[in-house]
Amino acid sequence: MRMLACRLSGDRDIRLALTLVCGSLLVLSVATAGWSQTPSSLFKAAGTVASTEPTGFTLQTDAGVRLAVVIPNNALLLRVAPEEKTLKNATKISVADIVVGDRVLVQGQISSDQKTLVAVRAIDMSKAAIAQKHAAETAQWQRGVGGLVNAVDPVANTITISTSGFGGAKKTTVHVSKDTILRRYAPDSVKYEEAKPAPLSQIQPGDQLKARGTRSADSNDFDAQEIVSGSFLNIAGTVSSIDTTQNTLTVTDLKTKKPLLVKLTTDSQQRKLDPQLAQRIAMAFKGGGSGRPGGTPGGAGTGAAAGASGGQAPQGAPTGGAPGGPAGQGGFGGPPGGPGGARAGGVPDFQRLLNRMPTATLADLKKGDAVMIVASQGTDAGGVTAITLLSGVEPILTASPSASQALFSGSWSLGAPGGGGGEEGTQ
């Protein structure tokens, strides 16, 4: 969460608590601190404008309540750009400038029935500006890095990550500064907006990580502006039962031989692998001979994926012999370039390949089907929540039981910034 100290003038000082969700700044709360001639009893509400009227607007608050906001002539209305860290460059606006979809924080007097708020002041972030910032940050996440954490050095403030791919493995050193935003997923959530601020000490080897920032010319180093990490499960197994009414399935884990309850939500990504592509990926694993695809320079993207089709890989399959590099989106806005291809200095991104596969539902599964799943760590209440569920993987798991870890490391979809649907987001 970014805390922005916003000074208007003299002792009129407020603090805005803002959080970054999928590239959009959402105003969460306001704590007044000696704002002159402002009683501490002023009601505060933040949310999204649902409709507008000549004298105000209807606010859908973040708490899920709809408020009729009345704007008197003497109310102070300010507009601030999402990228601003103070109100120094805020501009005065009129109620006519506020449109549906704007984010607004309002302070004023609430009616006795808690349905009408007469504003004393309001701070607006326009829908268009938020969308523009969202697009810019989506591009940053797409150009970012992601992978499995190998080591954390709290003295040097660095994190070493590696990503397996069709061309082998690539290691990148992620540099953390005092200005780097660090967030971590909750153990029972697959939503980026529910990720919490967390220190570097919470990142451990084996975690998965995404970062946006600036990449070095050789792609070996990355200066992070923001990092999101989490501890996730890579599960490979066979379906033993399905409960469509509860939106759950039980999977027998190939590694532990134990049953595991898997819950699916609207944020869970379900895909079914094309049989031909599954065979080609399986061939890549067999050819690599080391538990991951790619046993020859240039990786299996050219040989295995394209070989069976006369040199032409199926749509969405990895092609070319791109050098090893960080995988892309998985949950944080994927890499640039064509789907299924490699970014500059990177391996073909399995998550982007995954996003081109047909969607699937629980009804498409049957007992005995092989699946690969990326899931949350779960809670004591039992079961895990699926982030990505991929079926049609029998040939791949036959070729390599560890294929799930190799393909999904650093390539996981969690409704992250830049995600939220579309090619690189969860569906």
Q: What is the mean pLDDT of the chain?
A: 73
100 and 203 both lie in a single domain: no
Report pTM: 0.57
Domain boundary among 86, 119, 134: 134
Within-domain flag for 181: yes
127 and 140 both lie in a single domain: no
Identify which of 126, 199, 163 has the alpha carbon closest to the alpha carbon of residue 412: 163
DSSP assignment string, 282-308: HHHHHHH-SSSS--STT-HHHHHHHHT
246 and 359 both lie in a single domain: yes
Q: State the Cα–Cα distance between residues 303 and 319, nearest whole angstrom.
A: 9
Within-domain flag for 281: yes
CB 413 within 8 A of CB 300: no
Range of the domain at 288: 232-408
Average pLDDT (181-188) is 85
Q: State the Cα–Cα distance between residues 389 and 247, nearest whole angstrom.
A: 13
Per-residue confidence (pLDDT) for residue 165, from 0 to 100: 56
210 and 241 both lie in a single domain: no
Non-local CB neighbours of 402 within 8 Å, separated by 6+ positions: 236, 291, 292
Domain containing 217 — which CATH number?
2.40.50.320
219 and 274 both lie in a single domain: no
Q: State the Cα–Cα distance between residues 313 and 338, nearest whole angstrom.
A: 14
Q: State the Cα–Cα distance between residues 55 and 66, nearest whole angstrom.
A: 16
Confidence of residue 358 (pLDDT cuts 50, 70, 90): confident
18 and 90 both lie in a single domain: yes
Mean pLDDT lowest among 109-118, 132-141, 269-278, 339-348: 339-348
CB 72 within 8 A of CB 118: yes
Domain count, the chain: 3
Q: Which two tokens stand for residue 419?
A: 């995600």
190 and 120 both lie in a single domain: no
Share of residues in the chain with pLDDT > 70 (%): 66
Average pLDDT (356-371) is 89
58 and 174 both lie in a single domain: no
Within-domain flag for 257: yes
Per-residue confidence (pLDDT) for residue 298, from 0 to 100: 31
Within-domain flag for 419: no
Average pLDDT (299-316) is 31
Whether 54 shows a pLDDT value over 90: the answer reads yes
Domain boundary among 205, 229, 253: 229
Q: State the Cα–Cα distance between residues 221 and 150, nearest whole angstrom.
A: 14
83 and 225 both lie in a single domain: no
**Rg of the chain, C-alpha, whole Å:** 24
**Beta-carbon count within 10 A of 93 CB:** 14
367 and 219 both lie in a single domain: no
Within-domain flag for 427: no
Within-domain flag for 420: no
Confidence of residue 163 (pLDDT cuts 50, 70, 90): confident
Whether 320 shows a pLDDT value over 50: the answer reads no
Q: In sequence order, what E strands does 22-115 have?
A: 24-33, 43-53, 56-61, 66-70, 76-79, 91-92, 103-110
253 and 401 both lie in a single domain: yes
Amino acid at 195: A
Average pLDDT (196-217) is 92
Within-domain flag for 344: yes
Give the residues across from 45 on adjacent strands.
Answer: 106
180 and 279 both lie in a single domain: no
Within-domain flag for 413: no
